[in-house]
Structure 1
Amino acid sequence: MRLRGIKRSSNVEMRGGSRRSAGAKGGLGVVGVLAVLAIGYFTGIDVSPLLQGGSVQQQEQSGGSAGDEAAAEFSAQVLTTTEAVWTKVFQEQLGRTYTPPTLVIFNGVTQSPCGGASGATGPFYCPADSKAYLDTQFFTALDQQMGAGGDFAAAYVIAHEVAHHVQNELGILPKVNAARQRSSKTEANRLTVRLELMADCLSGIWARNVQGLMERGDLEEALNAARMIGDDHLQSQAGRVPQPHTFTHGTSEQRAGWFARGYDSGDVGQCDTFS
């Protein structure tokens, strides 16, 4: 993804924090990622991005702070692209004004109105404060453990979290949350899947609108990431028989399919997963 010349978004909040204890040194692993995805519709995933001068993974090998800095720079630039895209789409398709979210970039652990945030909880969007939370160290975990590496794959996941903010702006998140609270666990999971697939479709709309920044192979990186984080794939990787009634994000085929639908159409109206 070509980000040279793209400025950092001003809607970024940098937070410090202590790195996790030695007990968490081994990373999330597939079971850990499954736990992340089971949290609900606020969660998301990120992988290690590629910047001018080398990837985050390469820079982390020579120093964690350098890797964190590179990840933060990349994330802030990607956030700028989402702001431009959704400002345009809201005006042209919805006749509304878009208010962007804040991206909280932290190292280690931090707190949000939706609960504690760390690499163990994964990146997520919290509608209570309209902020997306991202631990820079989660980039490497997804690249090395999930096989969903690449800069555009990372950008897709950031766009996915922003898509949850778009849903919140449109009043979709609170309606679905209210319906979930009235439903059985199985039905609540089904509603969450629809919400996540819609966010994948909205991420596809973002990708369509940043085609000028894309490089060869970028689209496949995003589609691969969508497949790698499908519920069926994750459960299989964890040695389990996929249990559809427990799915909270959709299958690999569904996630990639809805992302492609948003990318091909560029139309918010085509992302209605509830009708």
Structure 2
Amino acid sequence: MRWRGRRQSSNIEDRRGSGGRVVRRAGGGSILFVLIAIGASLLFGIDPRQVLGILEGGQTVSQQRQTAPAGGRNDEGRAFVGVILADTEDVWNRIFSANDRKYEEPALVLFSGRARSACGFASAASGPFYCPGDRKVYIDLAFYEELRRRFKAPGDFAQAYVIAHEVGHHVQNLTGVLPEFNRRRQTLSEREANQLSVRVELQADCYAGVWAHFTQQKGLLEAGDIEEALNAAHQIGDDAIQKRTQGYVVPDAFNHGSSEQRARWFRRGLSSGKVSDCDTFSGRRV
């Protein structure tokens, strides 16, 4: 992906280390909605390491391709994240404006080790996640290396995909999807909540595809970028994660979607670039 030398978002909070500088603070909220995978009954993940709004790896497949840093505190890592966040701002500002709405840009928090959010404490093991309570995306860049090694999902565009997925959750928060899910899940069984969670996650995947559609239109993608994102979607599917961690698959425990579903919904958003094509809630099956 061609990301170097491009505009970086100003909506970054750098909390890495003891002297992290706050560049901007986003508006907060009171929705205590934990999207981190703390357990199979919670919205994100089967175990904290399996959070999936997390989808990416650390290196590109060709030495000629531009590479994003694998993690750690360095300006290049911050620059990469800043450019991708800026791209999502451009896309969603355009889409919201076309529908006579104002897009409220989220903040992105860079942290190392552990960070406090309105949804509780975040750790590197949790992976990137979105907290609707403070409308912020949280990322420890060191997690990219684990995704590259453990999840076999390398590539700068795979890394960008995970940010776009988490921003997709922010869009859902602005449009009322996440508050409604949080309300409904209180009365659902664990199995029913998981099924609804899958629809939430797949829509965020589709929204990431919508972002990728417009990024592709601007001529910013390189050969292999789409394959990196699709591979990441496959590697973090619930079935792939369950096979890797426990050796067998339990469909009733899915809360992000299968490998096939995640890749398919990302591709759907990528193909059309239309938010209307990302309705994962109207059909009986996704």
Q: Could you say which TM-score interval applies, normalised by the shorter chain?
A: 0.7 to 0.9
Partner in structure 2 of residue 7 of structure 1: 7
| TM-aligned CA deviation for residue 95 of structure 1 | 2.4
Partner in structure 1 of residue 69 of structure 2: 56
| TM-aligned CA deviation for residue 52 of structure 1 | 8.8
Provide the TM-score with structure 1 as the length reference. Answer: 0.86
Verify the 8 A CA contact 1:6 1:80 in the aligned structure 2.
no
Q: Does 1:245 align with 2:257?
A: no
Verify the 8 A CA contact 2:55 2:161 in the aligned structure 1.
no
Verify the 8 A CA contact 2:57 2:147 in the aligned structure 1.
yes
Choose from 224, 235, 238 the match for 1:228: 235
Q: Does 1:36 align with 2:75?
A: no
Partner in structure 1 of residue 140 of structure 2: 135
Measure the CA separation in 2 of the matches of 1:112 and 1:253: 32
Provide the TM-score with structure 2 as the length reference. Answer: 0.83
Verify the 8 A CA contact 1:235 1:241 in the aligned structure 2.
yes
Choose from 196, 201, 204 the match for 1:199: 204
Measure the CA separation in 2 of the matches of 1:118 and 1:65: 16
Equivalent AA in structure 2 for residue 35 of structure 1? D
Alignment of 1:61-72 (within 5 A): 64-66=72-74, 69-72=75-78
Question: CA 1:114/1:238 → structure 2, altered by over 3 Å: closer, same or farther?
Answer: same
| TM-aligned CA deviation for residue 110 of structure 1 | 0.9
Q: Higher helix proportion, which one?
A: 1
Verify the 8 A CA contact 1:159 1:203 in the aligned structure 2.
yes
Measure the CA separation in 1 of the matches of 2:93 and 2:237: 29
Give the aligned CA root-mean-square deviation in angstroms.
Answer: 2.1
Q: Does 1:80 align with 2:67?
A: no
Measure the CA separation in 2 of the matches of 1:82 and 1:232: 29
| TM-aligned CA deviation for residue 71 of structure 1 | 2.0
Partner in structure 2 of residue 259 of structure 1: 266
Measure the CA separation in 1 of the matches of 2:50 and 2:226: 27
Partner in structure 1 of residue 125 of structure 2: 120
Of all paired residues, the percent bearing the same amino acid is: 49
Verify the 8 A CA contact 1:103 1:132 in the aligned structure 2.
yes
Query: CA offsets, 1:206-255, max 9 Å, x none?
Result: 00000111001101100110000000011011133110110010000000
Verify the 8 A CA contact 1:46 1:123 in the aligned structure 2.
no
SS, match of residue 262 in structure 2: helix
Choose from 91, 95, 117 the match for 2:97: 91
SS, match of residue 9 in structure 1: coil
